[in-house]
Amino acid sequence: MRRMTPIPTDAAASSSSSSSDAASPALEAPRPADGYAGDVSPQLAWHWVQSGEAVLVDVRTDAERDWVGFVPGAIAAPWKHWPGMTPNPAFDDTLRAAVPPGGKAVLLCRSGVRSVTAARRAAELGIAAYNVLEGFEGDPDENGHRNRRGGWRFHGLPWRQG
């Protein structure tokens, strides 16, 4: 299990540029989901992590975290390995070790798609798992660029690069 180094909670204000204010997050209730606990906004996920209500689990590949960026303090539990995107045989054990019994996990991937599959698996393991909507980078814009239409980074939440 690879744990990232924590940074101060006020780091959201000094992290990468943002189109919204991380100090006033959208804390709407989780959206219902099929096969896992629900979907949450990046802001609600961060609120839960800061308050100790949930563990943040980054299910992106090691390469994605190394090259694109990571959330300090998140548990690295790749759903798949790069290259080849082969399933990670250690995923279940890493997740069980990261989330205390009765605890909840918020799962983060690039755009909020892989984390749905990972959240369903976590639910099968008995973990209250939530998918982080929009993921780390959000959906691409009309030019194919990410970080401009949602995502952890877009909302100015804490992250670091390589």
What pTM does this model have?
0.82
Per residue in 95-143, pLDDT (tens digit) is: 999 999 999 999 999 988 899 999 999 999 999 999 999 999 988 788 8
Every domain of the chain and the residues it spans: 32-86+117-124
- What is the structure's pLDDT at 148? 75
At a CB cut-off of 8 Å and minimum separation 6, what does 145 contact? none
Per residue in 39-69, pLDDT (tens digit) is: 999 999 999 999 999 999 999 999 999 999 9
Average confidence (pLDDT) over 30-39: 96
CA atoms within 13 A on the CB side of 117: 13
